[in-house]
């Protein structure tokens, strides 16, 4: 707060360097939120009106809206009912059909739901075969790993996006970041973050008219993060591993407590070590969800539901999507409850949550 900088200053570069180093990615671009990060990542990858972008229906609406901001046509790949991430089998089938119809996507946005990475190696194979780009929505997953590599290493993707909204694993109040190993993409992201304006003579068209001169060379936005937020982000990065370790401990306690309970838990695939943004239980039958949810709220527990399938939102209905289009995401939604999970949750408070869930299940 005592520094000379308010908007983008030296803390931005330090925060970007800290995230890039932690993820093992070459470049990082901080922006005002993850929605903006998704938007400029799509644009930097050349997504334009009429292009096709696919994502998971089991996500926050921003994973799909970023494509719509670019004028692209959004579509979804249904989820795997065990991992709750988009199903690679269903993706393969949908791609084969799309190829026959001449309607292949230009970009896929896999979402690392609840902090567990999608099976990126297999998704990469499909991307290579069918020629689309990959943008990881890693809003839930900073601090997690896949095949021993940190999420955000971008070993299997063109870029990944993190969110620093207060509900996420680390926060800057509002904030987001794109990480990538692709220098061309990085340069484009820097331009799009700040009005498409450059002071770099190498990027200018025609002459540099003097020391005062700048050029707008693309249609960009004001998506900058403030230096104050970046300073908060830097201090949060120091605590990231501690936060994730505590989240993993809490999830292990939940998993143990519910091992024999009549509920379904998200399965964890061996190649991942999730960061655990969310811990979700599913009732066996849809009609059990509402009474359990209401009983937990009445017991003073801040339960929630993640996510209402994006394609069932009215604004997506106007694009032609209907209930029934992605039945696994819909079936999951009807049975899902997110339990409290945050680094500051005490064992005692968690034990109370567990006790109330088990009590609620007994009816």
Ligand X SMILES: *Cc1c(COP(=O)(O)O)cnc(C)c1O
Chain centroid, CA 274 distance in Å? 13
What track of x and - describes contact with ligand X for positions 272 through 311 (by CB under 6 A)? ----------------------------------------
Q: Please, what is the Cα angle at 237 between 147 and 301, to 5 degrees? A: 85
Instruction: Please tell me whether residue 266 binds ligand X under the rule CB under 6 A.
Output: no
Q: Is 143 left (phi over 0), alpha (psi -120 to 50) or beta?
A: left
Measured from the CB of residue 231, what is the shortest distance to ligand X in angstroms? 18
User: Residue 68 Cβ, how far from ligand X at the closest point, in Å?
Assistant: 14
Indicate the residue among 35 and 283 with the shorter CB distance to ligand X.
35
Q: Please, which residue, 127 or 177, has the CB nearer to ligand X? A: 177
Q: Which of 63, 117, 172, 282 binds ligand X (CB under 6 A)?
A: 63
**Exposed (0-12), middle (13-18) or buried (19+): which is 49, by Cβ within 10 Å?**
exposed
> Which residue of 59, 145, 282, 283 would you call a contact of ligand X, by CB under 6 A?
59
The CA–CA distances, whole Å, from 312 to 57, 80, 131, 336 equal 9, 18, 29, 16
Residue closer to ligand X by CB (options 9, 173) is 173
Q: Backbone phi, then psi, for 272, in 5-degree steps?
A: -115, 150
Residue 253: both structure tokens together: 């306690």
- CB count, 10 Å around CB of 42? 26
Looking at the DSSP assignment, which residues form a beta bridge with residue 180?
Answer: 27, 159
168 is catalytic: yes
Give the whole-angstrom CA distance, residue 347 versus residue 252. Answer: 12
- For ligand X, the binding residue among 39, 140, 247, 311 (CB under 6 A) is 140
φ, ψ of residue 116 in degrees (nearest 5)? -100, 125
Looking at beta carbons only, is 32 or 361 nearer to ligand X?
A: 32
* Region near ligand X per CB under 6 A, out of 55-63, 90-98, 255-263, 283-291: 55-63
Answer yes or no: are the C-beta atoms of 41 and 189 closer than 8 Å: yes
Cβ at position 111, least distance to ligand X in Å = 5
- The answer to whether residue 85 forms part of the interface with ligand X (CB under 6 A) is no
- Binding mask 12-51 toward ligand X (x if CB under 6 A, else -) reads ---------------------xxx----------------
Stretch that binds ligand X, among 12-20, 87-95, 136-144, 197-205 (CB under 6 A): 136-144
| Active-site entry in 93, 94, 168, 184 | 168
Binding test (CB under 6 A) with ligand X, winner from 62, 141, 154, 185: 62
Interface with ligand X, residue 163, by CB under 6 A? yes
Tokens of 147: 């095949």
Per-position DSSP letters for 82-101, written without gaps between them: TT-SBPHHHHHHHHHHHHHH
Coil, strand or helix at 288: helix
Smallest Cα–Cα separation from 36: which of 177, 191, 152?
177
Of 165, 187, 195, 253, the one binding ligand X by CB under 6 A: 165
Burial class (CB in 10 A: 0-12, 13-18, 19+), 68: middle
The residue count for binding ligand X (CB under 6 A) is 14
For residue 91, what are the CA distances in angstroms to 55, 75, 115, 171, 266? 10, 11, 20, 32, 20
Q: Which residue from 139, 226, 272, 288 is in contact with ligand X, where contact means CB under 6 A?
A: 139
Quick note: the x/- pattern for ligand X over 166-195, rule CB under 6 A, is ----------x-------------------
Nearer Cβ to ligand X (34/153): 34
Q: % helix / strand / coil in the chain, to the nearest 5?
A: 40, 15, 40
- Are 329 and 57 spatial neighbours (Cβ–Cβ below 8 Å)? yes
Least spacing, CB of residue 299 vs ligand X, in Å = 26
Among 30, 108, 111, 170, binds ligand X (CB under 6 A): 111
Residues near ligand X, by CB under 6 A: 33-35, 59-60, 62-63, 111, 137, 139-140, 163, 165, 176
Q: Annotated catalytic sites, by residue?
A: 168
């Amino acid at each position: 707060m005592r520094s000379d900088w308010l908007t983008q200053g030296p803390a931005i570069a330090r925060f970007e360097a800290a995230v890039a180093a932690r993820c093992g990615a070459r470049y990082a671009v901080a922006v005002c939120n993850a929605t903006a990060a998704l938007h400029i990542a799509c644009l930097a990858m050349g997504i334009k009106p009429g292009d096709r972008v696919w994502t998971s229906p089991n996500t926050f609406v921003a994973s799909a809206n970023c494509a719509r901001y670019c004028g692209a046509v959004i579509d979804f790949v249904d989820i795997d009912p065990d991992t709750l991430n988009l199903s690679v089998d269903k993706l393969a089938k949908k791609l084969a059909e799309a190829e026959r119809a001449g309607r292949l996507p230009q970009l896929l946005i896999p979402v690392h739901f609840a902090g567990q990475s999608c099976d990126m190696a297999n998704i990469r194979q499909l991307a290579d075969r069918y020629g689309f780009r990959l943008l990881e929505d890693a809003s839930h997953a900073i601090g997690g790993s896949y095949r021993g590599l940190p999420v955000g290493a971008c070993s299997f993707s063109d870029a990944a996006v993190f969110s620093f909204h207060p509900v996420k694993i680390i926060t800057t109040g509002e904030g987001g970041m794109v990480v990538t190993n692709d220098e061309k993409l990085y340069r484009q992201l820097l331009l799009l973050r700040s009005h498409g304006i450059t002071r770099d003579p190498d990027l200018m068209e025609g002459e540099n008219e003097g020391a005062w001169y700048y050029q707008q060379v693309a249609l960009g936005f004001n998506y900058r993060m403030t230096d104050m937020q970046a300073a908060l982000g830097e201090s949060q990065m120091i605590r990231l591993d501690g936060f994730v370790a505590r989240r993993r401990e809490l999830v292990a306690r939940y998993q143990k407590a519910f091992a024999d309970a009549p509920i379904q838990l998200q399965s964890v695939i061996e190649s991942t070590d999730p960061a655990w943004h969310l811990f979700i239980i599913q009732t066996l039958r849809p009609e059990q969800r509402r009474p359990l949810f209401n009983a937990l709220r009445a017991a003073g527990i801040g339960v929630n539901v993640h996510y209402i399938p994006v394609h069932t939102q009215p604004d997506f209905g106007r694009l032609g999507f209907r209930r029934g289009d992605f039945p696994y995401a819909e079936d999951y939604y009807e049975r899902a409850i997110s339990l409290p999970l945050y680094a500051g949750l005490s064992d005692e408070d968690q034990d109370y949550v567990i006790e109330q869930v088990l009590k609620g299940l007994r009816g």
